[in-house]
Chain A
């Protein structure tokens, strides 16, 4: 009976979400206060119902209820409890439910934390979010009901894909979705302001922390996914330009542009139409990402078994959202004023240029991702666009962006003396050039690409340090200033990691028998032997490797080749010795003849800086969000 309650809760949630989506918007339009005040209670009810539905699905997993089709397909009684809970979003239906549940979580947060906003604005924002919620609930109920029964019930479940049996799965999707879905708040604020015709600095101030929050989650979600792919897929790469990775990265790029553009709108009242357009684009791209992942139109490591109805539904929903919001934009946006004037050398210009580069890079990634689809749709053949395309297009666009990052924060709003800034920055330039020459030489080999990478990273770092010195002389820096510096430092750290791995990693595929030694990056790795091992729901062949440097033994590494009882698919579990300046990565291939094994060893210098940089970016976002000026406003209203 319990799963039926879950289904029932979803149906009820759809009804209430429709009320949440329609009445407050009409109320705000016709000035009917009695309709308008329904926004908050409706949003709360939807949240409660979705929490119940989600809880029931989680319970079905916990209780091993294999009479529920989705549970039978994605879980197994031998699966450890933590992965059974992670399995709730291990497949299509559950992850969509998670999407909607998180959407309603954002809605409820907006409803609770927006007490200082006027009722009309709140009603419109919650109304727009309600419409999105209804659309997606309709999608779940018609094409992907997670509570569908399996009769007769299965004896045991098919189990979760072994790749997904990892702590990474427990956190990666919720984080990523939190970010994806979070852009819906920025979107709803933008639409609400278009509807009300009040595109002003107050609107930007309100949507800014929400956008930053979504961006922080998206950053963490992407970084977690990348880290997970690195250690779990057994490939040792950190980014593959896989269509699904791109689907999350494109909204990130646009979201980053939005963050910066919102700053101009808040501080100077400028770029209003542009900011609104970015908010609409960021959310539309999040939806497009969902469509790409869920419809199975793209060949990707993330591809799920597909159902064409699903793709069509999302495509229609996507066109409705994009079409109606762009229509509204075309109708309302031209009426908004231009905002404050600014000179060619001003912070506004630098932010605008940065925006252009971010959008162009997002466009080029989008093009590479959709190109195979386009060619296929035109019956011009089947093609694939490989990582070299993305590397050769994306990287050159990032170069001027990083140069700008070192200059832009020095410029003041409205008018600024560019010559004075450049004169002041000669020290940073010197540091950058020295780093660009010295570091590759220390690493043992100079390449122009590596030199460029280090130069840009240290340019950003040096410029940031000089800004911090200047700012602390002038008084106590604000949280949002520190946040910006930390996030920009994160970019530099990330660039260092990427450059190091790109230029100096070593990869070896070798054949090893017990007693053989392979050396990589100045380390020796000796295979001592391979023996059988057993886990809770799998058995494995476990290699024992001795890692040593200059003859001194450092640590043992135990990579595994697992076979899960409930699956015929073998699983490579790499062993990684992680460190601040390098990772040593060993994974076991197949057993060859005469008891030797195919073994892959990597030396990855500074690879952890890639994710460390992402963490810093996210931390910067959190700091910026906690700035006093967002809180003061709340307090004033309450007192």
Chain B
């Protein structure tokens, strides 16, 4: 076979491989992305419907209740509160009054059914998404008060 054909064939094979990979990637990206949403956004109805997403925020003090293996707690950005249910073993660093990131979907009763509660390595570390949610809520809160509302 002539070198020119050979090179062409190799290039075509490589292009096909890359094309297939790109197709797989786009497909996988489409169905496997979880959006981060703050509790305020959930309360405002901005959460994706019937889809998995993530909430970052604080676990409200005194909200943790156990019911066998299922735990109920409230996640908050200090403005809005979202009730959460999770069945299984919580990670070591999960605590009331600390930041957390949870993944799951909303059920019909407005309760967030978590499929995953994310743990971090370090107790002094705040998940950036939880921090982001608190900052966001604070910013909106101060905007509201400067607009003359009582909040």
Cβ contact of A356, chosen from B6, B17, B69, B120, cutoff 8 A: B17
Whether B128 and A509, one on each chain, are in contact in the complex, defined by CB atoms closer than 8 angstroms, is: no
Cβ contact of A303, chosen from B9, B54, B69, B121, cutoff 8 A: B121
Cβ contact of A509, chosen from B3, B25, B89, B103, cutoff 8 A: B89
**How far is it, in angstroms, between the C-alpha of A344 and the C-alpha of B2 when the chains are bound?**
10
Whether A392 and B24, one on each chain, are in contact in the complex, defined by CB atoms closer than 8 angstroms, is: yes
Flag whether A304 is at the interface (Cβ < 8 A). Answer: yes
Whether A353 and B33, one on each chain, are in contact in the complex, defined by CB atoms closer than 8 angstroms, is: no
Whether B34 and A344, one on each chain, are in contact in the complex, defined by CB atoms closer than 8 angstroms, is: no
Flag whether B90 is at the interface (Cβ < 8 A). Answer: yes
Q: Could you give, for residues 304-316 of chain A, a 1 whenever the CB lies within 8 Å of some chain B CB and a 0 otherwise?
A: 1100000000000
**How far is it, in angstroms, between the C-alpha of A577 and the C-alpha of B17 when the chains are bound?**
42
9-residue interface stretch from A195-203, A282-290, A586-594: A586-594
- B141 neighbours in A (Cβ, 8 Å): none
- A363 neighbours in B (Cβ, 8 Å): 21
**How far is it, in angstroms, between the C-alpha of A301 and the C-alpha of B118 when the chains are bound?**
9
- A567 neighbours in B (Cβ, 8 Å): 123
Whether A344 and B92, one on each chain, are in contact in the complex, defined by CB atoms closer than 8 angstroms, is: no
Cβ contact of B17, chosen from A357, A510, A568, A593, cutoff 8 A: A357
- Name the CB-closest residue of B to A346: B6
Flag whether A349 is at the interface (Cβ < 8 A). Answer: yes
Whether B120 and A303, one on each chain, are in contact in the complex, defined by CB atoms closer than 8 angstroms, is: yes
Flag whether A364 is at the interface (Cβ < 8 A). Answer: yes
Number of A-B contacts (CB under 8 A): 120
Task: Give chain A's interface residue range (CB within 8 Å of chain B).
Answer: 35 or more
Whether A161 and B121, one on each chain, are in contact in the complex, defined by CB atoms closer than 8 angstroms, is: yes
Give, as a whole number of angstroms, the nearest-CB distance from B8 to chain A: 10
Whether A593 and B66, one on each chain, are in contact in the complex, defined by CB atoms closer than 8 angstroms, is: yes
- We find that the number of chain B residues with CB closer than 8 angstroms to chain A is 45
Flag whether B83 is at the interface (Cβ < 8 A). Answer: no
Whether B34 and A383, one on each chain, are in contact in the complex, defined by CB atoms closer than 8 angstroms, is: yes
Cβ contact of A352, chosen from B10, B18, B90, B129, cutoff 8 A: B10
Flag whether A466 is at the interface (Cβ < 8 A). Answer: no
Whether A384 and B33, one on each chain, are in contact in the complex, defined by CB atoms closer than 8 angstroms, is: yes
**How far is it, in angstroms, between the C-alpha of A305 and the C-alpha of B131 when the chains are bound?**
13
- A302 neighbours in B (Cβ, 8 Å): 121
Flag whether B108 is at the interface (Cβ < 8 A). Answer: no
- A330 neighbours in B (Cβ, 8 Å): none
**How far is it, in angstroms, between the C-alpha of A349 and the C-alpha of B10 when the chains are bound?**
8
Give, as a whole number of angstroms, the nearest-CB distance from B113 to chain A: 15
**How far is it, in angstroms, between the C-alpha of A278 and the C-alpha of B123 when the chains are bound?**
39
Instruction: Scan residues 486-505 of chain A and give those whose CB is less than 8 A from a CB of chain B.
Output: none
Q: Could you give, for residues 85-105 of chain B, a 1 whenever the CB lies within 8 Å of some chain A CB and a 0 otherwise?
A: 001111011000000010100
In the assembled complex, 16 residue pairs joining A and B whose CB atoms fall closer than 8 Å, in A order, are A234-B92, A343-B1, A344-B1, A368-B25, A368-B29, A382-B129, A384-B103, A392-B24, A510-B69, A511-B69, A568-B123, A569-B123, A570-B92, A590-B90, A592-B66, A592-B69
Chain B residues at the A interface, C-beta cutoff of 8 Å: 1, 3, 6, 9-10, 13-14, 17-18, 20-21, 24-25, 27-29, 31-36, 54, 66, 68-69, 87-90, 92-93, 101, 103, 119-125, 127-129, 132
